[in-house]
Amino acid sequence: MQKKWTFKITPFRKVLLALVGIAILVALYRLVVGLGPTTNLSDDWPWGLWIGFDLLCGIALAGGGFSTALIVHVLHKDKYLPIARAALLTSLIGYVIALVSLLMDIGRWNNCWRPFFYWGFHSVLFEVFWCISLYTTVQVLEFGDIFLERVKILPLKKILKPALIPLTILGIVLPSLHQSSLGSLYIVTIDRLYPLWWSMLIPFFFVWSAFFLGPAMVTIEGTLASRAYNRKPELPVFQSLTKVTMWMLIVYLIVKIIDLNYRGVAGMAFNGSFESNMFLIEMIAFVIVPIIMYAIPSIRTQLWGVVTASALVVIGVIFNRMNVVFTGMAGSVGTSYFPSIWEWLLTLGMWSALVLVYLFVVENFPILVKEHEEDEALSTGTGMTAGKSVEA
């Protein structure tokens, strides 16, 4: 059945729309007058909110997409199918936001096409740039499948179909590369980034945290979506994700400890400095606590438990990225940076846009699993065929 596009306007959505509108104006203003008048960036802090938060965090948070893809499409853990599309969607929107914020942030935005033709392949940013661009393309194509399904252009969908498997593989390889590269970007900050964060292993920490962030993010998104649409949260799916996350967190923690000790800087975690305290918060509140929560069945099996633990993991990754970008650099930079009102407005607008687009897509495209399918699918693990028969 071909249906009309619909989008209900609620007061909340009005606010979001307004924010997006403001952000568009801010963006235009920024493009015309440049970065100086609009941001609090300086030669001391060349990268601020847009790169530090929107790009780094946006892409990390979008990590849900590729880790779920890995689980579902490569490992074929079909029981996670119900969350696959939602994860892909958030991820795609996250990347678009990252690209937009990048476009906003680069000084010579009229030159944004240059890197495609002029290759500075010694640069980590080169890798990041190409991976993000390619991966966004891949995601668009992946999403194309869904889009075509919705708009019912089946011949095209047929063409796309065989490409989906290599696309999916690419869609995991590329983000693995650039999630790690986002970390590698900071290798250059040797002697300036606080040693609790600076490490030659920083690419590993970035990619690994992006991986374990995925399930946590899916849990949060799923919960939010179910709230929004008045559906039952996919608790069983969430619960089964906890084990993966927990083990990944444990590995993360162990590697971190080994790395700090190997570099002889573990002591700095306890030297009482601002940095050390931030680091301890990061590790205790956002790594160790979630591990414990995931490990205790009575917490893990409760919706609040999973959601809280996941939230901690998500916040933890953001916290980590902020520590790398801001906390860890502040000491050596010497001056402070706080985003300007324009920077905040643009960021707010972009994240509002994310929510709006997500809502729109979810409401108009087949993203969420039909309610009655869930239980069966999850109870059997091979229930998909059964589901199909039901539908039939």
Rounded-to-integer distance, Cα 46 and Cα 40, Å: 9
Smallest distance, other proteins to C-beta of residue 85, A: 6
Contact 40, 337 (CB under 8 A): yes
Smallest distance, other proteins to C-beta of residue 340, A: 12
Number of residues that bind other proteins (CB under 8 A): 91
x/- map, 116-155, other proteins, by CB under 8 A = --xxx-xxxxxxxx----------------x--xx-----
Looking at 81, 213, 306, 317, which residue binds other proteins (CB under 8 A)? 81
Smallest distance, other proteins to C-beta of residue 318, A: 20
DSSP of 44-111:
S-SS-HIIIIIIHHHHHHTHHHHHHHIIIIIS--GGGHHHHHHHHHHHHHHHHHHHHHHHHHSTTGGG
Smallest distance, other proteins to C-beta of residue 127, A: 6
Q: Is 265 in the site for other proteins (CB under 8 A)?
A: yes
Segment interacting with other proteins (CB under 8 A) among 240-248, 296-304, 338-346, 369-377: 369-377
x/- map, 210-229, other proteins, by CB under 8 A = -------------------x
Smallest distance, other proteins to C-beta of residue 295, A: 27
Q: Is 241 in the site for other proteins (CB under 8 A)?
A: no
Q: Is 6 in the site for other proteins (CB under 8 A)?
A: yes
Q: How many CB atoms lie within 10 A of CB 200?
A: 12
Residue closer to other proteins (CB basis): 57 or 148: 148
Q: Is 111 in the site for other proteins (CB under 8 A)?
A: yes
Residue closer to other proteins (CB basis): 93 or 102: 102
Residue closer to other proteins (CB basis): 127 or 282: 127
Looking at 9, 10, 108, 162, which residue binds other proteins (CB under 8 A)? 108
Looking at 17, 22, 106, 285, which residue binds other proteins (CB under 8 A)? 106
Residue closer to other proteins (CB basis): 173 or 289: 173
Q: Which residues contact 208 (CB under 8 A, 6 or more apart)?
A: 248, 251, 252, 255
Site for other proteins in 270-329 (CB under 8 A): none
CA atoms within 13 A on the CB side of 374: 18
x/- map, 244-263, other proteins, by CB under 8 A = --------------------
DSSP of 276-312:
HHHHHHHHIIIIIHHHHHHH-HHHHTSHHHHHHHHHH
Q: Is 158 exposed, middle or buried (0-12, 13-18, 19+ CB in 10 A)?
A: exposed
Segment interacting with other proteins (CB under 8 A) among 9-17, 113-121, 235-243, 344-352: 113-121
Among residues 353, 359, 370, the alpha carbon closest in space to that of 5 is found at 359
Q: Give the pair of three-digit tokens for residue 366.
A: 């087949």
Smallest distance, other proteins to C-beta of residue 11, A: 19
Looking at 19, 20, 41, 287, which residue binds other proteins (CB under 8 A)? 41
Site for other proteins in 327-366 (CB under 8 A): 332, 362-366
How large is the C-alpha radius of gyration of the chain? 21
Q: Give me the long-range contacts of 350-354 (CB less than 8 A, separation at least 24).
A: 350/23, 350/54, 350/97, 350/100, 350/101, 351/97, 352/15, 352/16, 352/17, 352/19, 352/20, 352/23, 353/16, 353/20, 353/23, 353/97, 354/90, 354/93, 354/94, 354/97
Looking at 17, 47, 233, 289, which residue binds other proteins (CB under 8 A)? 47
Smallest distance, other proteins to C-beta of residue 300, A: 25
Q: Is 367 in the site for other proteins (CB under 8 A)?
A: yes
Rounded-to-integer distance, Cα 101 and Cα 54, Å: 7
Contact 316, 287 (CB under 8 A): yes
Residue closer to other proteins (CB basis): 82 or 94: 82
Contact 325, 52 (CB under 8 A): yes
What one-character DSSP code corresponds to residue 188?
G
Looking at 61, 87, 104, 177, which residue binds other proteins (CB under 8 A)? 177
Residue closer to other proteins (CB basis): 268 or 289: 268
